Structure 1
Amino acid sequence: MTLFKSSALAVLFGGMFSLSAVQAAETFGRSYQPVAAVNSSQTQIVFYRDADAHAGSAHVYVDGEFQSALLPNGFTVFCVKPGSHSLSAYVKDAPAYAGKSAQSFRGNLEAGRTYFVKMGDESGMPMAVTRADAEKALQSMRLQTHMLSRASTVEACDYVGEAPKQYKEYSLSSDVLFPFGKSSRNNITRDGRASIDTLVAQIRRENSTIRNVQVIGHTDQIGSPQANQRLGQQRAETVRLLMVQAGIPARDITAASAGMDEPVVAECYGSKAEKIACYAPNRRVTIRVDGSASGE
């Protein structure tokens, strides 16, 4: 069986621990951004896990060695030398850690290629996914960061050129949309509603077709990571609702939070009022649009 060229890749499931919602929030890093190409001496793998029904982490193994532990809606990116490699993922893997020995599924990875791999369902058969389909799902996912790779064949990726520009990105200031610290539909300002209506008109004018829209809430560095993650999500969901009411089909738009993880400015000092003013650029809602430009 060829691991990455078939329509399905075999992965077995076993088991592991589960994490609380607070712990889970602390295990994720940045949201997904399209990856650039790697040089001809490497192969890149983007491995992700949907919000499946399995509890706990999924241990990801590369050549029989631990690479990461993926929670639902998490992804990992890594590079290896081109050639023959095995890849597997197991839920409820402890205490036997079967993934270290059961490396039945192996494929020949081509030089300079990027493979997108989706963890499968209860059938145990994950899929090799096209970049377009994978990145549509990956938009709402976060990088898994709570575990260090111990796979000796994995190496730092050496990128060439820039990542592909997949989305048009628009931005709205949270200070225009909401009073400080607020997030609900009842809190949104009159100027905020007008800004959303204007943005939706612009998106529809600039795109003849809209395949996917993602609303991402960003916060400042004031407060705990958990509180900011919730605030970013709540603001994104409010903006999503108003964009739907303004004419974007609900099936085409999702909401996610980057919390305080992607700041524009950092290290603000002084009184709380001074920090609020300094951190203002971080408080924003970004909208990524995957569409076809008008006139294409």
Structure 2
Amino acid sequence: MRSAVMAWGRCLSVLPVFLLAGIPASGAALAVADGAFGGHFTESARVGEDQAQVIYYRAADALAAGAANVYLDQELVTALKPGGYTVFCLTPGRHTLGAYLDDAPDYSGKTRELYAAAFKAGATYYLKVREEGLNQPMPVNKTTAEAELGDTREQIHLLSRASRAEPCRYYDFLDDPTFSVRDFTVLADTAFNARGGMTNDGSRAVAAILAGLEQVNAQIIRVEVEGHTDPMGAGANNQAQAQRWADGVRRALIERGVPQSVVVATSAGSRNLVQHSCYGSHVEQQVCYAPNRRVMVRVQVRTVKAR
């Protein structure tokens, strides 16, 4: 099994990134009552840096008549019939993937001969079922895939059970795309309670950040979340507290739809102060140092047209 994993990993590592334009296909198969196939394949659309895209298909002239069960990370995506294709996206990184012809009733695709490879951010992979019975995906180049996919239709008769398959997020990129970095500040005193949980004010602050980005149709490329404390207390405690605040904001962003693969959370402790040299009682110092207790959210975006 180790040799199979390494061999397919080498195959995928040399695949080119095919970034084309305009497919109406969904990321996962949908259950319908009026047939196994949907529309014909057209072209693959471009995904952002937060996903990798897989187009898995069987040639229309495939000799084996049975279904080829496609598995992603040991969970069923769909069952491809000759002339069928499926499109789905996943988080960049290492995954297992393969297509198994008539593997019922033991469904070996979930447990045996698992082929793994690293999927690159922003890449589209064309993979074809091997009709000779091998389960390892067959990487196909753009020219060959486009020629063969022209005779295929979307496989739509099953619901995907693959929890790590994501709906693809497609973007119409500007001819001259605008890249920028946007900085936001979440004040910890109002965003978090004494136990470290996020308050309603904190949730609204995170929601406002995303709402503002949505209004300008900004594609999120990367989010850097950095926690900061005041200089009061021990340095190790401040480092840990700032990390907890940063982790809290990161969770809130992910819960609101930001892909976890593009959000990182770190702690600066009390090293980067905006308010220095506060005096007076403990309470007075706390009030004076309040601007230091914050979470900085830096969002790298690419401005795109609304789809």
Could you say which structure has the larger radius of gyration?
2
Give the TM-score normalised by structure 2.
0.45
Give the TM-score normalised by structure 1.
0.47
